[in-house]
Structure 1
Amino acid sequence: MVEAKIDTTNIRIGEQFNLKISVDETKNVIIPKLILKGLEIVDSTKTDTLKNKLIKKYVLTGFDSGAFYIPQQQIFVKNQAYLTDSLLVNVATVAVDTTKVKKFPIKTIKSEPYTFDDFKIYIYIALAILAIIAFWIYWFVIRKRKEEVEAPTYRTLPPYEEAIIRLNELDEKLLWQNNKVKEYYSELTEIVRGYIERELNVPALENTTDNILEMLRDFKQAETISTSQETLDKLKSLLREADLVKFAKSKPMAIEIEDDRKDAEHIIGNLKPKPIQEEKEEDELE
């Protein structure tokens, strides 16, 4: 059914010989990759069909002296495995007649001329260092100056005016309209917290939602701020919603986002420190 043949059993190192595998069948035949030990494949041909046979030819060689077997090769015919015979190949060394080899005197070591490859690693390192230096110069000098020039001078404005300007700038960014809801709520609550911090002189930016609400409740009970319970409730709802968006990946609807925007402006307009008694008396006298 299957057969493997070689055209010679004795070769010299580097000499080539042919291996032919034939199968007495043309359909449903699988000839796997040739498995060799000590020999190498130089070339192979496509599987040919000849007189109701499949024939696969290989050109082999060997680069080590010794006796090597071409092991049995497994061929599948109609899902049934068949084995070829193993074949022995002797690889002999080429004899060298040392009496005919001309001898030459030993030469001293000669240095090779320098080329670009000898210095390219140093050039690349130097360019990398220059690039790093240029980056740091840009970052610490040019960029910092640019940021200082472009930075808005909010601190020169009263807290209320600063907060309203920042709210309008936030609207122009269209963050939540472009699926950046988390960034929108982060900046919205930062504006509200920043207003509270400046207007009431408390660390609202650094405190948690619960701490801010508790602090404002204490202020209201002590009558040190001028606001309504409705305003505090809106602030609580806004900060809670922002926490859900930032930390629980909540996704409020568009109408809810618009309501939170209105609540933020309401909070900024209705949360004020209460005037001290002396100022009240002076106002009444006037």
Structure 2
Amino acid sequence: MRKLSFRFQVSRHKVYVEYMCLVVCSLFSLQTVAQKVTTTTNKSTIRIGEQFELKLTIEPAANSTVLLDTWFNLPDSFNHFEVLQRLPIDTIEVGGAQSFAQKILITSYDTGTFKLPEFAVKLIGNKMLTSLPLPIKVLPVNISNMQDYNDIKEIIEVAPETDWWLWGKIGFGILLLIVVVIFVVKYYLGKRPSKPIKKIAISVNDVLQQIEALQPLITSQQYKLFFTSLITITRNFSDVQLGITSLSKTTDEYMVLLKGKVGNAPTQVQYYQLLRLADAVKFAKYQPATTECEQAIQAAKTFVTTIHSFNYQPKANAV
């Protein structure tokens, strides 16, 4: 009887110990689960090439600390998004509990609605926390409100008192020099046989062949040289066709010069997006995909043929 009573007491003590362990583990589990990761953005809709801010935050459970193993593994390029800048990780301590936050500047060079994927962070003990995906809508360039730029005015200086006698002598000397130059030119040109003047003409087929010749640069992944050459070819052609000078202009100034002269609106917007993509490759070190390069060649060809058809005027028949 005593032996049975002793076994009952040992069994009850064992059950009590197991119950207490279960309670402690449950509390620890609830404390761990309470830890969460959140992602927020300051914009849900952006223009193509516009940047927005992504904030990653890890909040601890009450009266606990977050023991990190590895921070979020966010690549430089993912799902049509490009990381521009990563700000330092901030540590905030309130009431003995620490939370972590980081701000990241991101942009996109593709139009459409894309999702920021789930981001995971690893805690000590192989515990993984993941965020929820966020949708971001990327709109094309808005050119409806673009206005022509005004030229920069030169500094106006106060004119000094005019010395008419001096200006008279200068004017007489210039007039005499012009007469001498005209006489010399006529004298020497009269002795030489006249040569037919060759007119410089730009063939649309030649320009299209120049664009097609850039294909090897895509294969060799020389993207910066590819887009620089492509924009130079199209700019030179538009300058000749429209009688403008754009090589010294910025991209925005060039777009203003082309407004209303490139044909229909879709062709104009498509070429504007090509200019923005070229700037991203040349200045932001954006690595385009092969399909984007092929689309760039097609957009350049469409621009050349369209601007030629809208600005070509056949010569009148000679009488």
TM-score of the two chains, using structure 2 as the length reference: 0.34
Q: Which has the greater radius of gyration?
A: 1
